[in-house]
Structure 1
Amino acid sequence: MSAEQTLDAPATGTRTLEARGVRVEFAGRGGAVATALDGADLTVRSGDIVALVGESGSGKTTLARTLVGLQAPTSGEVRLDGAPLGRGARALKAVRRQVQMVLQDPAGALNPRHTVYESVAEGLRLHGLSGGRGGGPGEEQRVGAALAAAGLRPPERFYLRYPHELSGGQRQRVLIAGALALEPRLLVADEPVSSLDASVRGELLALLLRLREERGLGVLVVTHDLGLAWNIADRTAVMYLGRVVESGPTEQVLGDPQHPYTRALLSVVPESRRVEPVVLAGEIPDPTRIPRGCRFHPRCPALADGTAAAAGVDAACRGTALPVLPAVDDHVAACHLLAARD
């Protein structure tokens, strides 16, 4: 078997990764509690690409880390194929054969003292898949196949290179190869192309689409870029201050946004032509002081321009909390204005 030939995947069939009512709290200054996630729901299935979008500070990365077991929820749970993720090291090790994460910063994620080969082989060795101490033919085949699948061909040309000898796009491909070496069914990618040139971004997005088609891989892409979501995602979930405020098929969420926050995000996307420009006042509130009622109401254009008052929901916006959106396939949004229309 050559280095570019693949091995049989240990995980077969559809995998479903779910967050259900996940809450994550951190200790803040002076004893205050920062609520990074507040009842977040999300579903990712193998064979689907899901985009998780929102401003910095919305909770996207915390939710991604919680989904792969890097952050324990304060309450709620994460499930893989209906079974709650275990908290112990052995349980999480088994989960990571199925679910892998690609971190945002390849320069920081790759050990500068490790060659490309060692970086990709590390996961195989941790999971006992390297063919014995010091590796072996099986390890080299898996490493070569993973590098080739990530677009680094011929893989042998990269084995002895160090991160500083690679371009930014190549380093990102090494991280992806390290994840693919375990042949997971689900991939969580945190801002995978945010620091790359436009041409390289396009190549890596095409790679994610190809992996979905060829391997049935499910991908959660964490991004602030709605244009990226429109180009590759089957489904999109919009986060604001720890909660998903709108979700559904991408063509509906981004083509016919229902939540004022989603419309505001879309209005600054250069490619968008159907949304009037919206300027949001201020920034996302401090997570130690989440507003009462709808958490978006201090910045909501519908309150500022009188739309909410005309619909008779302005008092509810400021004082009545909205329920957590269920993680369903339909297009749903959490907004008092929508409830008033029904």
Structure 2
Amino acid sequence: MSAALLTGQGLAVEFTARGGAIARALDGADVELAPGEIVALVGESGSGKTTLARTLLGLERPAAGEVRFDGQPLDYSIRGLRALRRRVQLVLQDPAGALNPRHTVYESVAEGLRIHDLVDRDPQGRTETELVAEALASAGLRPPERLFLRYPHELSGGQRQRVLVAGALAMGPDLLIADEPVSSLDASIRGEVLALLLKLRQELGLGVLVVTHDLGLAWNIADRIAVMYLGRVVESGPTEEVLARPRHPYTRALLSVVPEIDYMEPIVLRGEIPDPTRVPGGCRFHPRCPALADGSAAAAGVDDDCREATLPVLPADPSGHHVACHLATAHVLRGVNP
């Protein structure tokens, strides 16, 4: 695998909640993304995946840990962030809200080119119109000229999402960060957008970080997966390995409710993700853990550890299957297949 282009190590992000309490949105998270690789961040709402994506983009400055791009620590100056935004582009989940309703498709795609003055610096001497047309065509909107003067309300949901992708592609980025890229789309269009991301990886060598709550989506598109819970990655590794043989009870619960999975009984988790101002001790998942509730952890002799012993932060090592779970560790040590 190529050397990592974007990495985050030991990232912690804190916010001050009402009453002065400190909310730990990220509480030590490692992640890395190589050129041409698709990585999925999955988890429930409130797990920290969007905060992690924003931190990698420089939109949040970590209280601890470090983001590195192309081997160098992230430069948080205006100039440094401007350079990063040209090479790492964000594709938002709601195209209806992300696109200015008063801007035509042409203006929406050309906006980034103008902000970063990319037309005058284009090595091939292409005009703004040519760059906009090429970006729209790469996003699957052909012939692009027919869309130049249309407004967002005149487009379908899938077309609006492709316009957002085209705006990102116009910048000539190395990486895309796609936050729930198909959550607002009809099922019939979701596959088209996912196929587009795979095509961009194949034809342009783009890396993609996909933020999603949908493990089915991750299974169809990602090379690697990182499962997040309450500000930390609790399981990570090659997608086929993690989702075919999930070792963390949380991953199993998420996977059990994927509609395409018919060989697992649905696992209903108790309650909601805890308040990030009061992260539970021990394993942060233990108040909702089915293995602790059904006695599996006690049978393995790790129930006290689950409640009291803190687990280490998982490394961002793409070569293996990693899990932060006392029960999974006990099974491995005893040679038991969980």
Query: TM-score scaled by structure 2?
Result: 0.94
Structure 1 segment 244-323 matched on structure 2, within 5 A: 244-323=233-312
CA contact (8 A) 1:15 1:185 kept: no
In structure 1, what is the equivalent of residue 223 of structure 2? 234
In structure 2, what is the equivalent of residue 124 of structure 1? 113
Q: Quote the RMSD (CA, aligned, Å).
A: 1.4
The alignment partner of 1:254 has SS state of helix
Cα distance in 1 for residues equivalent to 2:189 and 2:67 = 33
Q: Structure 1 residue 211: deviation in Å?
A: 0.3
CA contact (8 A) 2:4 2:32 kept: no
Deviations 1:58-88 (A, max 9, x none): 0111111111111111111111122111111
Cα distance in 2 for residues equivalent to 1:309 and 1:104 = 42
Cα distance in 1 for residues equivalent to 2:296 and 2:200 = 44
Cα distance in 2 for residues equivalent to 1:312 and 1:98 = 49
CA contact (8 A) 1:120 1:177 kept: yes
What one-letter code is carried by the residue in structure 1 that aligns with 2:321? H
CA contact (8 A) 1:18 1:42 kept: yes
Cα distance in 2 for residues equivalent to 1:232 and 1:241 = 24
Which one of 128, 131, 140 corresponds to residue 142 of structure 1? 131
Structure 1 segment 17-166 matched on structure 2, within 5 A: 17-131=6-120, 138-166=127-155
Cα distance in 1 for residues equivalent to 2:250 and 2:264 = 12
Aligned length: 327
Deviations 1:112-141 (A, max 9, x none): 111111111111111111339xxx962111
The alignment partner of 2:30 has SS state of strand
CA contact (8 A) 1:68 1:96 kept: yes
In structure 2, what is the equivalent of residue 6 of structure 1? none
What one-letter code is carried by the residue in structure 1 that aligns with 2:200? L
For the pair 1:197 / 2:186, whether they are aligned, the reply is yes
Q: Structure 1 residue 274: deviation in Å?
A: 3.5
Cα distance in 1 for residues equivalent to 2:54 and 2:28 = 15
CA contact (8 A) 1:121 1:130 kept: no
In structure 2, what is the equivalent of residue 326 of structure 1? 315
Deviations 1:242-282 (A, max 9, x none): 00000000001111000000000011111113433211100
Cα distance in 1 for residues equivalent to 2:214 and 2:296 = 28
The alignment partner of 1:40 has SS state of coil
Deviations 1:282-318 (A, max 9, x none): 0100011100010000000010000111111111110
Q: Structure 1 residue 14: deviation in Å?
A: 6.8
Measured at CA, do residues 41 and 14 of structure 1 come closer, stay the same or move farther in structure 2, by a change above 3 Å? closer
In structure 2, what is the equivalent of residue 10 of structure 1? none
Cα distance in 1 for residues equivalent to 2:135 and 2:310 = 47
CA contact (8 A) 1:15 1:186 kept: no
What one-letter code is carried by the residue in structure 1 that aligns with 2:223? D
Cα distance in 2 for residues equivalent to 1:196 and 1:276 = 28
After TM superposition, the runs of 4+ consecutive aligned structure 1 residues lying more than 4 A away are none
Listed as ranges, the gaps of 5+ residues in structure 2 are 334-338
What one-letter code is carried by the residue in structure 1 that aligns with 2:179? D
What one-letter code is carried by the residue in structure 1 that aligns with 2:13? V
Cα distance in 2 for residues equivalent to 1:141 and 1:63 = 35
What one-letter code is carried by the residue in structure 2 that aligns with 1:252? E
What one-letter code is carried by the residue in structure 1 that aligns with 2:256? S
The alignment partner of 2:195 has SS state of helix
In structure 1, what is the equivalent of residue 176 of structure 2? 187
Measured at CA, do residues 51 and 197 of structure 1 come closer, stay the same or move farther in structure 2, by a change above 3 Å? same
What one-letter code is carried by the residue in structure 1 that aligns with 2:97? G
Q: Structure 1 residue 339: deviation in Å?
A: 2.1
Cα distance in 1 for residues equivalent to 2:156 and 2:25 = 34
Cα distance in 2 for residues equivalent to 1:253 and 1:15 = 21
Which one of 171, 174, 177 corresponds to residue 166 of structure 2? 177
The alignment partner of 1:35 has SS state of strand
Listed as ranges, the gaps of 5+ residues in structure 1 are 1-12
Q: Structure 1 residue 96: deviation in Å?
A: 1.6
Query: TM-score scaled by structure 1?
Result: 0.93
CA contact (8 A) 1:53 1:236 kept: yes
Identical positions, percent? 73
